[in-house]
Amino acid sequence: MTSTATGKRLGEAARQQITARLASNPGVILEQLAATHECSMIEIIECLPADMWQRLPGDNFVPLLQEIHGWQTPVTLLVHSADAILEFTGPLPPGSVGHGFYNLENASGLHGHLRYQHCAAIYLVERPFMNKPTVSLLFCNTAGQVMFKIFVGRGEAGELLEQQHQALLDFVEAHCCKVCA
């Protein structure tokens, strides 16, 4: 990614500072770091320890959402903006491509239209957050910002749903490139 929402890129000193901070505390709110340093979320994500993230090309958007829909088990879809953090928890509805969007088809619950062609990269991020292990997908646009996130679901005791986690790992293994062009 060469462009960011601010047009500013991290300098090497800032990158090293953020990398050290995330190595000692990877559970910080990534959006706050990006805002503080006026850089893209992709730059922040890639400062996480290397074993905590994997990058997929954005053209995996549609097949990945269809894979997740196929699970028919709850996930959490989150949209984080400067003014709100919105969450939906439940099975991801089916969707299809039409009129330039990936259209989530649901008569009730989550529905809407996603500009799938704006997705430049998808990150699988595995890190602690609020003292719990988390596994999430961060769908990033061409400006290097997160469009939305999908988190692996949790069981009644708060444990990650291992079947979802393994399905994601399998998908990523089949489609991953650590650093995409």
Residue of 81, 78, 75 whose CA lies nearest to 93: 75
Distance in angstroms (rounded) separating the CA atoms of residues 174 and 181: 17
pLDDT digits (tens, 9 = 90+) for 91-143: 999 999 999 999 999 877 899 999 999 999 999 999 999 889 999 999 999 99
pLDDT in the model for residue 9: 85
Instruction: Specify the CATH number of the domain 52-175.
Output: 3.40.1570.10
pLDDT in the model for residue 173: 87
Distance in angstroms (rounded) separating the CA atoms of residues 67 and 73: 11
For the chain, what are the domain ranges? 52-175
Residue 71 burial (10 A CB sphere; 0-12, 13-18, 19+): middle
pTM: 0.91
Instruction: List the chain residues with pLDDT less than 50.
Output: 1-4, 179-181
The backbone torsions φ and ψ at residue 12, rounded to the nearest 5 degrees and listed phi first, read -60, -40
Q: Token digits for 137? A: 């997908």
